[in-house]
Structure 1
Amino acid sequence: MSGERAPLTDDGHHVVIDGRRWRATDPMVPEERRAELQRVLMAWRRDVRRTRGTAEEKRSRAGVQAAKVALGERGEPWWEQSDAERRARWETDVPMPD
């Protein structure tokens, strides 16, 4: 899907990929921050593959979770949060893997 966004459900809360619904990224996340969080997410996903089956895998998966929560793709649904809660969520520091 290089550069192309997946189609959204009518309510805008989910994307549909291969017939499966996934929670959409919070549309209020500023584009620069969204790009940064997506880079962090991809780095953590690579780290999960690198650490699979080791004691470090749990930390790598926690990094994926933190990035997905910051993007609004996991955790409390972004459409149920106040604007201040949403901003605090995406502004949370999500470090890159070592």
Structure 2
Amino acid sequence: MHPTIPGGRYFVVKGQLWRCTNPSFSECERQRLVHDLMDARREVKRAKCSGDSSMLKSARSRVNVAKVGLGERGAVWWDDGSTDYNRCRVELTPYADWYNALGATKEQ
């Protein structure tokens, strides 16, 4: 399990922040969007195996659409005007002290 910042906007993988899914979704809606994402990721795998660059481009586009739908990319899902730190190194964000305080409990 990857650590999630206080407030639940991001989780940390290898020192990098990744935006969490929008928590306002119903479980049913979230599951539908996750299912779409997993289908798209399987399509990326098939496209890579086939060597079909057009299919790969289409599949990657579907992954992006699903991630935007989940709130993990695109416009932020919060409305307090806070900066988006998606894909930033946690040490270069206001969450650096929190992350450093995790110490030995950080994922490797």
Choose the corresponding residue for 1:20, options 16, 19, 25.
16
Q: Are 1:73 and 2:72 counterparts?
A: yes
Name the % identity. 42
C-alpha separation in 2, matches of 1:58 and 1:10 = 36
Partners of 2:62 and 2:19 lie apart in 1 by 18
Residues in 2 aligned to 1:12 and 1:21: alpha-carbon distance in whole angstroms: 11
CA RMSD, 1 decimal:
1.8
Q: Give the AA of the match of 1:61.
A: R
Q: Distance in 1 between matches of 2:30 and 2:22?
A: 9
Structure 2 segments unaligned to the other structure (5+ residues): 81-108
Matched length: 77
Distance in 1 separating the partners of 2:38 and 2:14: 20
Deviation at 1:12, TM superposition (A): 1.6
- Aligned partner (choices 20, 34, 47) of residue 38 of structure 1: 34
Q: Using the TM superposition, name which of 7-16 and 69-78 deviates more.
A: 7-16
Question: Equivalent residue for 2:100?
Answer: none
Instruction: Structure 1 unaligned segments of length 5 or more: list them.
Output: 82-98
TM-score by length of 1: 0.70
Q: For the residues of structure 2 that align with 1:80 and 1:50, how far apart are their CA atoms? A: 38
TM-score (norm 2): 0.64
* Structure with larger RCO (C-alpha < 8 A, sep 6+): 2
